[in-house]
Structures are given as C-alpha cells and as structure tokens.
Amino acid sequence: MLTEAKAYELSQKANSIRESIIEMLLTAGSGHTAGPLGMADIFALLYFHILKHDPKNPDWPARDRLVLSNGHICPVYYATLAHAGYFPVSELLTLRKFGTRLQGHPHREYLPIVETSSGPLGAGLSQAVGMALADRIDFGRSVNRFIYCLMSDGELDEGNSWEAILLAGKEKLHNLIAVIDRNNIQIDGFTEDIMPLDDLAAKWRAFNWHVIEVDGHDFMGLSQAFSQAQAVFEKPTVIIAHTIPGKGVKEFERDYKWHGTPPNKEQAHTALEELRTLGGKIKSEHK
C-alpha cells in the first residue's frame, strides 16, 4: 500500500531524476527530452516501491525483470538506476560519450544491469513475452515474479508489437505487465495525426488483455493500477499511463518537437531552475 508519506518521497525522487535528465542531456548535447521527463514518475514508483530488485545484487535470480522497449527514453532509465544505487550518479554525465556504458540506447553488453538491449522500436514486448513464457515453463502457474515491459505509444505503429500482444493474450501470460507511455507524441508529430491509435483500450481488450487506464503522474492511482495488475491471474495486463511529455518544464510540455531534441545551455538552466522551484514547493506542501 502506498502511504501519503511514501508518495511524497516518490515525488521528490522523481523531481531529482528529472534534474539529472536535464543535466545529462545538456552535457551530451544530444538525446531525447520529452519522453524521459514524462516517465520520471513511473520509473520512480517502479524502482522505489513496486519492483523486486536489489542494487547490491543486480543478478538476483528472483528479481522482477524490466524490459525497456522504447530505448530512446533511456536517460530516465539511467538516472533512476543511478539514484537507486546501481552506479554513481556522477556517471550519468557520460551519457552518449565515446566509450561510456550509458549508450544512446541501452546496451546489455556495456551495462549488464539492463535486461535487454533496445533500439528498434516494437521489439521489447516480444522479448518480454519470451521471458514470461520461460518463467511459466520453469515455474508453472506458481511463478511469483513479474515481467514488466515499458513501451511508447508511437511504437504501436509497428506490426511486430501487435504480434506480441496477440501471442501474450493467447498464452494468458498473467505474469506479464505492459506499461504504455500514452503521451500522444512521436518524433514527427502527434500520434493521432500520424497513425491514430484510439480506441487504444478496446484494441488491447480485443487481444485478450486486462486493461487499466491511469494518470501517469498520480502516484496513488499508479500504485493501485500496479496492485490490480498483479492480482489478475487469467490474462496479461496493460497499464495505459496518460502522461505529459516534457513533464515538469513548461517550455517542453506537450510539444512533440522535444521528442528527440536536447536543451541548450540557456534552456537547461531555465529547466533546472523550474524543477528546483517545484522541488521546494513539494517540500513545503508536505510540511
């Protein structure tokens, strides 16, 4: 159960992750801004409340597995892992540098903490389905961990996503939970202009998935969504998380042009000031 005190802690953690994202992108001079900022709350909730994992023992066999299908939002993934204690926060500033472990898309060979390498959009759910099937073969219906697959809404333009959705529904993989970043943008415009996805919930239900829709910035609602997903035993679950791309920085919010654009020095300075002000506000409201 998520208490108000824990929700406050998570909101502060998410804000710190957003600050790290801006600092990383500024230093790298390239990378994606909107998606990582928009997913900071979900990553904070997962790594500091939901997932079974151990930073001191990354290969713990009983850990939950998280597959990042939309690998381009890796700044939020890296920042969260660092804040969770998997590697020093200072290493975040090596993002996209020559020889870094923090590639522009997660690479398992360079950073074994991550479960899979990602890059080509639409591949992650197929990998997650394979993991969920393997666990069922190994442990039967008594499997007691979950495979989480984080996806973008834009990658649902890819046909192989729907092949994986169909197979998971057919196999009734109750140990599989997909999370869609429903931010309505992709690199060249709004999703509903490029390839309309709605009624998205109805599409997934037609493929035999349990569907939950939630505000992707409401920690209480998100926590309840994950608890509900874990309780479903007859089919896989998808959480459609409605998020604001660029969340936390007014200049970036809801503007698809920030999908794959990093901030310059002035924009980063303004963004960090805004996030630090927000952090102070969160702290004062909690008091």
The structure tokens listed for 253 are: 């919010």
User: What superfamily would CATH give domain 4-286?
Assistant: Thiamin diphosphate (ThDP)-binding fold, Pyr/PP domains (3.40.50.970)
Question: 């092949």: which residue's tokens?
Answer: 163
Adjacent-strand bridge partners of 68? 150
Taking the C-alpha atoms of residue 22 and residue 26, their distance in angstroms, rounded to an integer, is 6
What's the whole-model pTM score?
0.96
Burial state string for 196-226 with b = 16 or more CB within 10 A and e = fewer than 16: ebeebeebbeebbbbbbbbebbebebbbebb
Q: Are strands 189-190 and 185-186 parallel, antiparallel or unpaired?
A: antiparallel
Q: What residue ranges do the domains of the chain occupy?
A: 4-286
Question: What SS3 state is found at 149?
Answer: strand
Q: What is the pLDDT along the chain (287 residues), one digit of tens a residue?
A: 899 999 999 999 999 999 999 999 999 999 999 999 999 999 999 999 999 999 999 999 999 999 999 999 999 999 999 999 999 999 999 999 999 999 999 999 999 899 999 878 899 999 999 999 999 999 887 778 999 999 999 999 999 999 999 999 999 999 999 999 999 999 999 999 999 999 999 999 999 999 999 999 999 999 999 999 999 999 999 999 999 999 999 999 999 999 999 999 999 999 999 999 988 888 777 76
Taking the C-alpha atoms of residue 277 and residue 39, their distance in angstroms, rounded to an integer, is 20
Contact between 73 and 36 under an 8 Å Cβ cutoff? The reply is yes
Adjacent-strand bridge partners of 152? 181
Give burial (CB, 10 Å; 0-12/13-18/19+) of 73.
buried
Contact between 184 and 38 under an 8 Å Cβ cutoff? The reply is no
